[in-house]
Chain A
């Protein structure tokens, strides 16, 4: 998309506005600059840009020589062509540094080193000395940044550029389930890509859009996986721009015939057929919408302000493809990492380590030994998202030889970061380890900035999210003379592959100085990943020239964008809003409004002259929200929708109320249940008349309370419950029989008599049994067993006979003529216990 040219009269007023708005100085003082403060604007209105090309000065030439010229003039880099007598510009000529300086100075953008001609040219594929043009561009930008950063006199500012005003487009959307027409695309993918692009391939490469086997069946989970993996690689609106087509046509990526263009055409035709079968989603004309933007239409806002004076290795994972993560520190030799195992690239820069690692060669890794032992101190800095908080003794960043020999390691154990470092104060395995305490739970499964530092005085220190954890190194400081230069630098695992860490690594930097807390905080504040300022045009909705809703947007991970800090602003410094009502703002993606993540849906504010300033606009919210990625960062088109903005109003979306759902009948469980613990105790007390506070009863209840049924469900009744019930029952019966109340409870029963006499007849037994049945089981109740059945052991029809209470009493009373004196009471207690602990009492 073309840019609107910068307004010729915007000058410093607009610059001032933007400077104050963000409070950031992109790359102020260069990558190594310590300053993070916004530079004061000293020019008056119309005084031109804040920063500009400084006059050539000896200091600048010296900086050029050290930071840039020495790096590019080699025959394996730009010096091969752009040397003396070579192609213009001869900025890499070795014969005359002053002449080279003059040539180079004319081609670099001191405000935005990343936009220098030589950077964009190399980034576009012009003779990169690495396999990844992006990595060359990053390195080149860093050299320029180091050069101008040391000498530039002006600060850096984000300068907003007005995007071209485009209406949110009607677009085609992928159906949630695979359409039948995807089968043709899948056939090609499965036939020609499944050697790599499926998880069970010999060399699996995500995305797994060739998962499964033909024929395509949309109801199979594995084919749904293939469809979902293919979605980001397909452009329904412009099939020729689909990544699946471009990869074949322009990049000749594993074409299956000798003619890549023909293969690409086949793929394009299949995608076109799929696209033709999908209807276009039109934006409702009644909706109040802003102009539309993609992420790439925004102004890049990140990349600066980090403290990197002593950087010796830097991994930003910008490549996004391939099996190499480049060291873009610009510090030779580059310790590039080879990705192996299940390690995939993450949207918004990063790698996702599942099972595998990213490791540098031992040769390239020697620079860590060489550069760190030279200073005797170091820092490892990383932006990581641990995959979970359950992994133990794992390696995030390590420079080691095995699981028991290392120079340094940053690792994870549950909620703790571990720091192992070899020095004269520790052993060859870097032990004792320094860990953040478990209870602090410093490590969370979310994006965190962790920096571990070592210096000879303080020893090891751990900093998380810009904060020193306060944990002191028990081993103290030391020197690094024992370091081993044969180790390899590795991410995500031990070099011996037996300390697997899972999670996402967004950035890793190694410095050969211990960063100060201030420097760490500076790097933490700088953040990680790409950030864009998106200007959503609303001039057509409000009576204010060049007005926009400004969002900070970044790709948060592979699955979501972070929309943050919305502001209303005009690029016309003279404009004022008056009074503009803003109510209900929603973020739209590709022509429709996602239902999830609409954090500004309830926004209700007035943009007024009082709240607005030309410098900072008017903040609408300090809240950020996550909007799901649909087609990928290059293609997703965003717009805003408003319930009301100014005089315009409409309804973005109607969220339908969900009525109560119908309720189905469920099988009716049994109507009966068992008494529960307190109920059993209370029932036993009630039917025996024994006070539950009786010491012996209370003690037993206290013992067996939690062994008694806790729920009334009869299906949950266990034999252990019955054991506890029997204990309690016999205790209640003991208390009853031994109490004076026993005589009134059992009228006519001689508890002091001889058992053989007292229970000689059924009538004698009835004196014991009848009161028990009447009080405990009840009489005249159809829902309870009949007393006669209980006494005689009569079983229901069809069931075997069972012993009754008569038989029980008779058996107990029969002691062969040698009964003890208390036998009658014992028989009474046992019989009472049998009735009291029975199902007839317990079931209700």
Chain B
């Protein structure tokens, strides 16, 4: 019986932590974006506006939940639940420290990949059932995006799993001494970060929200607590990807002087800050650019990364060879990407387009 009580306590503790984290992330994002835009961000609700997300949450909870007339009722109501559940379930096996975890599964990494893949179903359900063209477009985009980027994400994770020879996140962190996998796997880290950003649909990959094109995507018809559930799912996913990045590549809770939990939070919040920073700095990609990046660059690179790891493990080479090879591959990969996005040929073509357009205008 004791273990049941302990498990329930752990689940409740993690849930409480996640709710508080979501509130804090919303506040942090608004503050950081505000400072980047040379504003103050929220200031009115409590000192430095720290209670602003609480006020927002209360507002959303008391707001009327509208449902469009032609909506598919059951699917419409289930959509947010299906989206938020996988986001929460992932946290069952993500460790904060060696002992602070709900359940350190032996197949933890596999479990995370399997469960997080379900959230796309929630998006599609929401988009389909809303009986709204923008929501449907958003749902189609989210399905395309999440399935495309699931592949490089999982393959990048596989590289780490190969090195650690374990699917348990606790073991993966334990293996990262003295050097974190970031040094052994710079290419894998870059792949994980880019694919993770796309999975989160954060800038520059917020294509299925795309407020300026499809007014919020799958959630356009949602309001009140259901909309808040989608919002919560997004922020929990954001924190999960950042936590995974710190666990898989930066050694998780390992570090000198500070207590382990603090190291975990510091590393995770460094990623969170980076992602918010990207949101302020970068414009949105087009859907074709998104697909090109995934299938022409990230997937082949992820396979190359796995091959590299296989060679390293099979021939039992020294660690520095893997670091160098991974770094070299990353460098090599940047060249065609650079040529594709902003190479001389692309710039010339753009200029030619512009000249052609101005000529056509002058003739008209």
Partners in one complex: no
Q: Which A residues contact B (CB, under 8 angstroms)?
A: none
Q: Which B residues contact A (CB, under 8 angstroms)?
A: none
